[in-house]
């Protein structure tokens, strides 16, 4: 990470959640602040009570975290970095519990989706919670030997639980992408040997070919678009807002031309941030 070391990092969930684990990986030995919801974590940064927020946006198995893409247009924060966290889901329970004792397992809906095949195979009923570590807390407090949790090994350590199965996810290589959000719009100085991601929002009128024309400049100028998400702002269903991630820096000549063309066919263009592309993107 090229970002300055923050003083406090906000994340959603209990201590031991994967967001907390990612905080410790990117910013070791930095104080963290647990928040009840994703919106709370973002608002904590907006109020200046934390410097950055570590927010998950998508998983290689379960797909996007839809709530985050709905929150991003409403926040005043900027994206200053990304982090890819390999997920090792652990099925855990109270000490002394056997695998065959477990009839229910709690976790965040994303984690449950990533482990649905193994849960079904074992006949364990999924039980949704606000976050993975929160499920571990519930097990530790319940003293119910039939209740398990799917969470990180850090959560098992923090809440004195026994890991029954590691790598409980259905697919090897399961990885979650996190965004690092800040109040400050920090655009890194362009370096020719580095890859960058630029994220922005824009709106098009609800007329035929509007999106095609708005996106045409990226194709003709050779700018690689790696993500396109759509919204209907305000619930009015008369215009569509889009979230775009491009492999480009705003100072790249081709990106400048593409954005100039976008301005002819789109409105309300809002830059969300430019940040170094994580090396994970180069893996097959």
Distance CA 127, CA 187 (A): 42
Catalytic residue among 11, 27, 178, 200: 178
Active-site residue, from 3, 75, 132, 176:
176
- Is 176 among the residues known to form the active site? yes
The three state secondary structure string of 57-118 is EEECCCEECHHHHHHHHHCCCEEEEEEEEECCCEEEECCCCCHHHCCEEEECHHHHHHCHHH
**Residue positions annotated with a catalytic role:** 176, 178
């Amino acid at each position: 990470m090229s970002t300055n070391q923050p003083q406090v990092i906000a994340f959603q969930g209990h201590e031991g959640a994967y967001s907390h684990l990612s905080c410790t990986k990117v910013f070791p030995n930095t104080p963290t602040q647990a928040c009840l919801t994703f919106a709370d974590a973002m608002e904590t940064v907006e109020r200046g009570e934390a410097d950055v927020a570590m927010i998950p946006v998508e998983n290689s198995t379960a797909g996007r975290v839809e709530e985050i893409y709905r929150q991003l247009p409403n926040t005043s924060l900027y994206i200053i970095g990304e982090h890819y966290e390999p997920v090792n889901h652990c099925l855990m329970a109270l000490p002394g519990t056997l695998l065959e004792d477990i009839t229910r397992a709690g976790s965040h809906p994303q984690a449950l989706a990533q482990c649905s095949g193994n849960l079904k195979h074992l006949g364990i009923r999924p039980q949704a919670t606000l976050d993975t570590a929160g499920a571990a807390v519930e097990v530790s407090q319940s003293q119910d030997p039939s209740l398990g949790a799917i969470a990180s090994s850090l959560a098992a350590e923090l809440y004195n639980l026994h890991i029954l199965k590691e790598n409980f996810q259905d697919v090897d290589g399961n990885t979650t992408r996190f965004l690092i959000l800040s109040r400050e719009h920090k655009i890194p100085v362009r370096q020719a040997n580095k890859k960058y991601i630029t994220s922005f929002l824009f709106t098009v009128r609800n007329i035929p070919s509007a999106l095609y024309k708005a996106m045409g400049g990226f194709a003709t100028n050779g700018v690689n678009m790696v993500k396109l998400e759509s919204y209907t702002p305000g619930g009015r269903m008369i215009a569509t807002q889009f979230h775009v991630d491009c492999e480009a820096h705003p100072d790249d000549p081709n990106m400048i031309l593409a954005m100039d063309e976008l301005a002819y066919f789109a409105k309300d263009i809002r830059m969300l941030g430019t940040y170094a592309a994580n090396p994970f993107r180069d893996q097959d």
